[in-house]
Structure 1
């Protein structure tokens, strides 16, 4: 009687991939894409280069996975801000979230999405392009949210959703750079609050929540 042959069971990885990716994210966050060498990355992750390639792909692949983790973790304030009831509350949550995320105790200062591609040359062009697309996506989501606010009467009819989104992104990116340069959370909170003072006034009834 012929017995069926079972496929060999693969050896389990000898490391926690989730924790390894967390450490890679922190290295990219602190050192940027080009500044983070494979030696730095694998040492922080506690694995060999062979294990890194097998689990995450090359450095560009690892960076994209780390950026995704950053988006879902420290930078998740952006997605939450979009759910706020009014455009002003969206802007407030976005900038206040930016201040908190870039000055978190025990984490690198600044923003991975900004610091990751600063001074990147040709070797870092792919990472730079990835981060440009990442920032543009955030701006597009803010723009779409503010278009809805105009339609609902929550923003004045002559408000420019594109400009408002770009304004918030510029202030947020500036906050990240200043945080990386050593500015305190209190100082950056004052900057965020000053930026919000120029927000367009509400001219119609507050939108209803459904």
Structure 2
């Protein structure tokens, strides 16, 4: 019998898989209500291994917030990739976002809304790092929508209109997230999203 064997990460440890499991614990329960025991159980790791791999609970939370933002950006970009014109792409993107929020995508099978929008706001008043993280996620949404609109605007919208339309679309996404987490049907949310795109883009531009 061997003695002195090192206890650490499982032999088949996958950092990405562990992070995804940790992400879903925070996504469901939020930062404050998530315990280290829950995180360790979800990741299949003991606490020392968890700390060695990912740092503190706060470190893990911030890491999965940005991981989620990256994954969502990739997912939504792919959703709009087959459409032509900003209105069509935006509607496809908003529809895909509803699917994600309602637990009907490969990223989640539960109606948890957006990880950042659902869990970060309750933490920002007590921690500037959390506030910065939420600001970063929201800014990424704004920039993504603005870039998409700007590609096809070609004089149909000036820059101020592009930025405001993008910010309004971000606000719509935030509202869809809240409604999805509350259990509102995806079909109703998609109707709201489609209506928002039609109202936010000028008729001539949307044609």
After TM superposition, the score normalised by the length of structure 2 is 0.79
RMSD across aligned C-alpha pairs, in angstroms? 2.8
Distance across 1 between alignment mates of 2:18 and 2:183: 27
Q: Which has the higher contact order (CA 8 A, sep 6+)?
A: 1
Structure 1 pair 203–95 and aligned structure 2 pair: CA distance change class (3 A): closer
Tell me the CA shift for residue 53 of structure 1: 1.4
Partner of 2:71: 73
> Runs of 5+ in structure 2 lacking a partner?
1-5
Is the 8 Å Cα contact of residues 63 and 127 (structure 1) preserved in structure 2? no
1:184 match:
185
Question: Residues 34 and 124 of structure 1 are in contact (CA less than 8 Å); yes or no, is this contact kept in structure 2?
Answer: no
Instruction: Give the distance between the partners of 1:82 and 1:185, measured in 2 at CA.
Output: 18
Q: Is the Cα contact below 8 Å between 2:98 and 2:186 reproduced in 1? A: yes
Which consecutive unaligned segments of at least 5 residues does structure 1 have? 1-9
Q: How many angstroms apart in 2 are the aligned matches of 1:116 and 1:127?
A: 10
> How big is the shift at 1:134?
1.4
Aligned to 1:173: 174
**Cα distance between partner residues in 2 of 1:161 and 1:111:** 24
- Matched residue, 1:102: 101
1: CA distance, partners of 2:159 / 2:66 = 35
The aligned residue for residue 145 of structure 2 is 142
Correspondence 1:29-44 to 2 at 5 A: 29-44=27-42
Match of 2:91 in 1: 92
Q: Which residue of 2 aligns with 1:120?
A: 123
Equivalent positions of 1:15-30 (< 5 A) are: 15-30=13-28
Query: Cα distance, 1:117 vs. partner?
Result: 0.9
Q: TM-score, normalised by structure 1?
A: 0.78
Say whether residues 1:13 and 2:16 are aligned partners: no
Contact 1:159 1:200 in 2 (8 A): no
Aligned residues: 194
Match for residue 132 of structure 1? 135
Specify whether residues 132 and 164 from structure 1 end up closer, same or farther in structure 2 by C-alpha distance, changes over 3 A only: same
Counterpart for residue 54 of structure 2: 56
Task: Please tell me whether the aligned partners of residues 42 and 49 of structure 1 are also in contact (alpha carbons under 8 angstroms).
Answer: yes
* Shift, 1:38, TM fit: 1.9
User: Is the contact made by 2:169 and 2:197 (CA closer than 8 Å) also made in structure 1?
Assistant: no
Conserved 8 A contact 1:26-1:108: no
Higher percent of residues as helix: 2
User: Secondary structure of the equivalent of 1:160?
Assistant: helix
Q: SS at the partner of 1:47? A: coil
